[in-house]
Every structure is written in structure tokens, then in C-alpha cells.
Structure 1
Amino acid sequence: MKFLAIFVFLSTMLFAYNIKTFSTDYENDINKITKILQQKDLNNKDELIFNVLKDKLDEELMLRLVLSSNYNLLSEEKKNEFKNLFFKKLQDDFLSKINLLQADSIKFLDAYIDEKKCIAKVSAKYDDKMQEAVFNFRKIKDDCKLYDIAVLGTSLIASYRAQFLDIINQDGIDKLFEKLR
């Protein structure tokens, strides 16, 4: 899970990728992120990366996916609160793990577009092992926005959804909000 959280934020430096330049732009951005991570003198590089990247996520889809049908049961106020809590958790997971990633090992592998989504693959050394991540982007008109990644076949969104639905099913949605606070 912590490896997935790290990779979420290594995905894009643009608001969305244009379909026509998706592969090239993605590869360039992986190289930019690698350079940021390699700078030893930056004390807040993890926060800088997160703040740049969080606006590039397909937030609405991510929220709907992690809460499943429970999302539609929330008021607009509760949806906004959940959004803030969820992305704070995502940021905290990222900030606590970013230094475990070996920046000089991050490599762009491939990117392509199919009928429904844009897909990109990256590898990096984590815990002294090369790991591959598959980034899934939703097509929105002529752009691609990140909504999920999978490492070793494990989806970030599915992992969060399983955790959240366990809490909701056992103790209710208010308990999920309480735990996220």
C-alpha cells in the first residue's frame, strides 16, 4: 500500500495529459520528478511534489470509486468533507513514504491509449527491489487524468475501497469519517 501511495504522486506535472502528446509528456514528467527527488538540499521536496500533483488527479472519480455506492448517499457538505479527509490521508501516506523510493531508479517504461483510457508504466527501486507500476488515466475529452495505479496487480483505489468499506460495513460511515479525522 505504501508503495502504491508513493507512485500516485509520480505520475504527472500537467493538469491533464493531452491525448496527442500523452507518452512524450508523461516520460518528460517522470524525468522532472526524478530530478526533484534527487535534490538532497530540498527539505520539502515531498510536499512540493504533492502540491504540484494533487491537482492532476481525477479526484471526482477517485472519490466515487473508493466509497462505491456510499458516495451518492452523502450530502454535498459530506462529500466535500470526505474529499478533504481522503486527500489528506493520501498526502500523509505519500509524505511518510517518499524518501523510501530510490529516485535514481525511476524509469519510464511505456505509455499507450486504448478505447477507454490512457495507460502508462513506470518502474522504480523500492525496498531494494525493482517494482513496476501501471498508471490508469481516464479519458476526458482530449485529455487523460490519473485515477488509479496498480503495483504487482494491486490497485490503490481497490485497497482504499476495501479498507473504507470494511469500516463502513462494521461501524457505519460516520466511523470512517472519524478515523480519517
Structure 2
Amino acid sequence: MKHFVTTAFVFFYLALTGLNLCADDHSPTEQLQPVLNQLIEVLDDESLKGDALREKRRGKIMAIIASVFDFKEMSRRVLGRTWNEISEKDQQYFVTQFTKLLENVYIGKLESYGGRSYEFVAERIKGKRAQVTTLIPYEESKIPVHYIMQRELDKWMVYDINIEGVSLVRNYMEQFRTILSKEQYDGLIKIIEDKNKSFAEENRRG
């Protein structure tokens, strides 16, 4: 549970820090750091809280997230070689469904988590790849969180998060690999669709 809640927080915590940023000559850390307070403001904004405002609140959050997370790259990685075996149309559809799954799985946890402080402790850049490490307070300890990024044109984009040695992308990749080996792509996308429909029904019931 600890890892799940922490993953939920840092996934959207980082996502919301990328608003209106471009790489230029700035390091990944310099891009991420200045707007962390914007996340806290969103999480603590009383005018966006409550079930009646869920759709508006989550729509706003996801619009911001899309500016810093490369969901296509994440989707390509979690599918592995299957990505190249499906059509471009299916690739686009998978990105949509997988992004929705991440939203459904993690955003509710983020909403109940509230704003937290943070500490940048390290940055490592190698060519077009980078890893930014932060410490996020959780209960009586601090959790090291590594943001894995790659530079695309004029900005750094996040394509994975590693928390205490656990990669978000690898975790899904291993889950999907098992399903793909038994049910192939059609079976996997059906499972994801059903999960998203189930979340939607739960939200309608409040």
C-alpha cells in the first residue's frame, strides 16, 4: 500500500510540475523545480474539491500531465515488441486506453494525498537521457524517487518513474507480458478497456 500511494503521488506530482516549460539550455532539474508549488496549489485548491467537480478537476490535471509525460513512449515500452506488431491505429488507441488506465489507477490516490514538500538531491545526464532524483516525505521517512527522462526537440519528457528500485514502466511491462503470452494483444486491450469501464461506473455511482 505504501508503494502504491507513493507512486500515485509522485506520478502526478511530477506531471504537474511540467506546465509551460521548455528545455532550451535548462537542465531537467531547472525545468522541474520552479513550478512544484503549482501542484500543491492544485491539490489544495478548495474550489476544485468534491465529487461534483471531479470531472473538471481531473480534466485539468490530465491536460497538464500531457505536457510533460510522454505517454506514447511509455506505451511503447510496456508493450515491448508487440508495439511493432500492431497497426498505427491500434498503437494510438492503446496509448489512449493506457493513459486512461494510469489516470484511473493513480489520480484518486493523489487527490486524497494533498500537497507535500520535496527535495532535489541529484541529477544525472547522459546524452539525451536524464535521471532526476528527489526525496518525497512519507510518514516518518523520505522516499527516493527517480524521474527518468529523455530530451525531445526542445524539452525533457518523463517516460518512467522509479521508486525504491521499482520501475513503473517495468511493472506494467511484466504484467502485460504475462497477459500477452496467453491472450495476445486483443486480450490485453480488452482487459484494459474493461478496467477503464469499471472505473467509470464507480465514478458515476460516486
Q: TM-score range by the shorter chain?
A: 0.7 to 0.9
Bigger drift between 165-174 and 7-16 goes to 7-16
The 8 Å contact of residues 101 and 125 in structure 1, kept in 2 or not, is answered as: no
CA distance in 1, matches of 2:170, 2:177: 10
Identical residues among aligned pairs (%): 22
1:9 paired residue among 6, 12, 21 = 12
Residue 26 in structure 1 maps to residue 29 in structure 2: no
Quickly say closer, same or farther: Cα 1:100–1:150, change in 2 above 3 A.
farther
Instruction: Tell me: CA distance 1:48–1:127, structure 2 relative to 1, closer, same or farther (3 Å).
Output: farther
**How far off its partner does 1:102 sit?**
4.4
Provide the TM-score with structure 1 as the length reference: 0.86
2:110 to 86, 98, 102: 98
Secondary structure of the 2:131 match is: strand
* Conservation of the 8 A alpha-carbon contact between 1:34 and 1:106: no
* Residues 179 and 126 of structure 1, relative CA distance in 2, 3 Å threshold: farther
Q: Tell me which of 92, 97, 100 is aligned to 1:80.
A: 92
| Other structure's SS at 1:172 match | helix
1:111-126 equivalent positions in 2, closer than 5 A: 111-126=123-138
TM-score normalised by structure 2 residue count:
0.76
Alignment-mate amino acid for residue 35 of structure 1: E
Q: Residues 27 and 112 of structure 1: is their aligned pair in 2 closer, same or farther, counting only changes over 3 Å?
A: farther
State whether residues 123 and 130 of structure 2, in contact with CA within 8 Å, keep that contact through their aligned partners in structure 1.
Answer: yes
Name structure 1 gaps, 5 residues minimum: none
SS in 1 for 2:36: helix
What are structure 2's unaligned runs of at least 5 residues?
194-206
Letter in 2 for 1:82: F
Higher relative CO (Cα under 8 Å, sequence separation at least 6) belongs to: 1
Whether 1:169 aligns to 2:181 is: yes
**1 or 2, which has the higher strand percentage?**
1
Q: Which moved more, 1:47-56 or 1:131-140?
A: 47-56
C-alpha contact 1:15 1:56 (8 A) present in aligned 2: no
Higher share of residues assigned helix: 2
Shift of 1:112: 4.4
Distance 1:129-1:40 versus aligned 2 partners, 3 A rule? farther
